[in-house]
Structure 1
Amino acid sequence: MKISTFGFLTRRGVRNLGKHWAMTIACIASLSVCMTLNTFASLVEVNVDSMVNYLGTQNEMVVYVDPEADNTLIESVGAAIGSTAGVSRVQYMSKEDVLNQYKGYMSEYADLLDEFENDNPFKANYRVSLSDLSQMETMSRKFEAIEGVYSVTAPIEMTKTFVDVQKAVTKAGRIVVLVLMAVSIITVGTTIRLSVFARRREIEIMKYVGATNALVTLPFVIEGLVMGLISGIITAAASIGGYAYIVEISPTLGSLWQMLMGMALVPLENVWPTILTYSLVAGALVGGLGSMFSIRKHLNV
């Protein structure tokens, strides 16, 4: 195909958008809505994952060291914990550190706690954070088996709840994404199929005078691509603007939101490039492929 011919067919495909403006607006609107809902479903999934990871860093395991352990054994316990795969952070708390921590929590009773300076009842321990909350129970058993460990305290039931919520939201989010993708493809395909059906006589005449399948198909594919790209731009603008607003008002959404999300809400700068790329690529693919498959059966005349 000559470049001039390609340019002519491309211009023709773009002009067709104006000729059939009602179908064009319907297709762009429906695709934009589906893709925007799809994007927000994905954002919910991403933020739930971030929330679970954030809560995981706030729910530490406490590995208590044997009160009779010497410094060498204490250091070996720390080394064993730190070298375990899946451990993201380890912090050592001496008996004195624990006592001072309680003094900070109970400042009004600090004088009473001063009596423990010479007879400290607390145990030295390691505060451990995991990169995967689902491994907390397994890790707890591993740490209990380390020589020099007195006991392990871990919020196992709470982390199981977090993990179950994460899995449920992830599963539901993926189902919603797949359903909305299918709806988007069906919507675009149906809209373009109506447009193709309205011009079926034009296609038949072109075929009768010797036009190849490529010459007939290209304007429709260009038309679908342009509609998809316009839908992608609208989707990106709506999704990025909506998410920016959520991030902006997040500090005012109350104590429960702050407790759950805290610093876990994914920043806008981390997601907007992905949103923009997804919107444009998905829109172009759905529009182009929808056009290609819609016109295929009309080529056999």
Structure 2
Amino acid sequence: MMRPSTFWFLTRRGIRNLGKHWAMTVACIASLSVCMTLNTFASLAEVNVDSMVNYLGNQNETVVYLDPDCDDATAQQVGDTIAAMDGVTNVQYVSKQDVLDTYRGYMQDYSSLWDEFETDNPFKANYRVSIRDLSQMEAMSKKLQAIPGVYSVTAPVEMTNVFVQIQQSVTRVGRGIVLVLMIVSVITVGSTIRLSVFARRREIEIMKYVGATNGLVTLPFVVEGLAMGLISGALTAAVTVGAYSYMVQASDGLGGVWQMIMGQALVPVSAVWPTILTYSLAGGAIVGGLGSMFSIRKHLNV
């Protein structure tokens, strides 16, 4: 078992190794920071698209019209059935009179028609239904239509499918970018560590011949990779949070059109910065550690 004094000695040695090839270290940190920043912005794009789709889902309600001949008991039963369905997040009943009152302001110039509507209301009572998963809207509409007492169902299925496809495309592209850049990051760190290993290959061989364990040989290089990864993670978090804060402030000035589409400017910085910081540091440490271990592994077989 490694003694604490040996562990700290090797750790300090790994940190000092950063300065031995400082130019390559700086280039590695810069490259890794760029890759991780692009990864983070790809993830932020996915988060904001999800937020937009969820907002649009809340705005585009499915309207379930009741049969004009159904009684109050049937209407109540329809509402209870809808509320019990899996995936339904909100159900609001709108009576015939509520619908008529909604259109009252639009019919001021048609007083005679309004008087006729007062005595013979042509509108149908309905339920306004919000669905959690927009991709299930079409299937949910068919289930709603099959409920006894339902006259018809109106849902923005085509528009919803477009937004769901956009969401899925952004998710796939974002995850593809993350995967590619993660591989690039590991290769970048590995190249830097490989130079350090190559410069000390004779020293490593001698250490192995005199009985040094793989842990003693590997630890300084792993610490070097972890240090580069953590520095890159901290830089990534600082740059990303700063740039994203600017984007949020800029989107605030775009006015009502953006607000109508997105529901809010962008996902607030306060909601994402802890995740950005955590994932940047953790991602940097993982990439740095993996890059180091892959680079040193073949030199352990002496």
TM range (shorter): over 0.9
The alpha-carbon deviation at position 35 of structure 1 amounts to 0.7
The alpha-carbon deviation at position 170 of structure 1 amounts to 1.2
The alpha-carbon deviation at position 208 of structure 1 amounts to 4.4
Once the two structures are superposed, residues 197-241 of structure 1 have per-residue CA deviations (whole angstroms, 9 ceiling, x without a partner) of: 123233234334543332221111111111111111111111222
The alpha-carbon deviation at position 108 of structure 1 amounts to 5.9
Matched, 1:71 2:72: yes
Structure 2 residue aligned with 1:192: 193
Matched, 1:237 2:238: yes
The alpha-carbon deviation at position 63 of structure 1 amounts to 0.7
The alpha-carbon deviation at position 117 of structure 1 amounts to 2.4
Q: How many Å separate the matches in 2 of 1:264 and 1:63?
A: 32
Query: Scaled by the length of structure 1, what TM-score is found?
Result: 0.93
Aligned 8 A contact 1:103 1:110 in 2: no
Q: 1:69 is matched by which residue type in structure 2?
A: C
Structure 1 residue aligned with 2:300: 299
The alpha-carbon deviation at position 109 of structure 1 amounts to 4.1
Structure 2 residue aligned with 1:152: 153
Once the two structures are superposed, residues 164-198 of structure 1 have per-residue CA deviations (whole angstroms, 9 ceiling, x without a partner) of: 11111111111111111111111111121122212
Aligned 8 A contact 2:28 2:189 in 1: yes
Q: 1:170 is matched by which residue type in structure 2?
A: T
The alpha-carbon deviation at position 12 of structure 1 amounts to 1.1
Q: 1:50 is matched by which residue type in structure 2?
A: S
Q: 1:119 is matched by which residue type in structure 2?
A: D
Q: How many Å separate the matches in 1 of 2:255 and 2:139?
A: 35
Q: CA 1:144 to 1:300, structure 2 compared with 1: closer, same or farther past 3 Å? A: closer
Q: CA 1:93 to 1:264, structure 2 compared with 1: closer, same or farther past 3 Å? A: farther
Aligned 8 A contact 1:23 1:195 in 2: no
SS of the equivalent of 2:93 reads strand
For structure 2, the 5+ residue unaligned runs are none
Q: How does 1:113-152 map to 2 (within 5 A)?
A: 114-115=114-115, 116-152=117-153
Moved more, 13-22 or 191-200: 191-200
Q: CA 1:275 to 1:155, structure 2 compared with 1: closer, same or farther past 3 Å? A: same
Structure 2 residue aligned with 1:17: 18
Aligned 8 A contact 2:251 2:265 in 1: no
Q: How many Å separate the matches in 1 of 2:53 and 2:265?
A: 8
SS of the equivalent of 2:152 reads strand
Q: CA 1:264 to 1:125, structure 2 compared with 1: closer, same or farther past 3 Å? A: farther
Aligned 8 A contact 1:220 1:291 in 2: yes
Aligned 8 A contact 1:144 1:151 in 2: yes
Q: 2:21 is matched by which residue type in structure 1?
A: H
Q: How many Å separate the matches in 2 of 1:196 and 1:300?
A: 13
SS of the equivalent of 2:153 reads strand
Equivalent pairs, count: 300
Structure 1 residue aligned with 2:92: 91
Aligned 8 A contact 2:248 2:265 in 1: no
Query: Scaled by the length of structure 2, what TM-score is found?
Result: 0.92
SS of the equivalent of 1:151 reads strand
Once the two structures are superposed, residues 252-292 of structure 1 have per-residue CA deviations (whole angstroms, 9 ceiling, x without a partner) of: 23554323212383322222222111111111111112112
Q: 1:252 is matched by which residue type in structure 2?
A: G
Aligned 8 A contact 1:47 1:264 in 2: no
Q: CA 1:107 to 1:284, structure 2 compared with 1: closer, same or farther past 3 Å? A: farther
Q: How does 1:15-54 map to 2 (within 5 A)?
A: 15-54=16-55
Structure 1 residue aligned with 2:81: 80
SS of the equivalent of 2:263 reads coil
Q: How many Å separate the matches in 1 of 2:294 and 2:100?
A: 72
Once the two structures are superposed, residues 36-78 of structure 1 have per-residue CA deviations (whole angstroms, 9 ceiling, x without a partner) of: 1101111111221221111111111111111122211111111
The alpha-carbon deviation at position 101 of structure 1 amounts to 1.6
Aligned 8 A contact 2:32 2:189 in 1: yes
Q: How does 1:242-281 map to 2 (within 5 A)?
A: 242-263=243-264, 265-281=266-282
Q: How many Å separate the matches in 2 of 1:113 and 1:46?
A: 49
Q: CA 1:289 to 1:153, structure 2 compared with 1: closer, same or farther past 3 Å? A: same
Structure 2 residue aligned with 1:201: 202
Structure 1 residue aligned with 2:218: 217
For structure 1, the 5+ residue unaligned runs are none
Q: CA 1:224 to 1:110, structure 2 compared with 1: closer, same or farther past 3 Å? A: farther
Matched, 1:287 2:288: yes
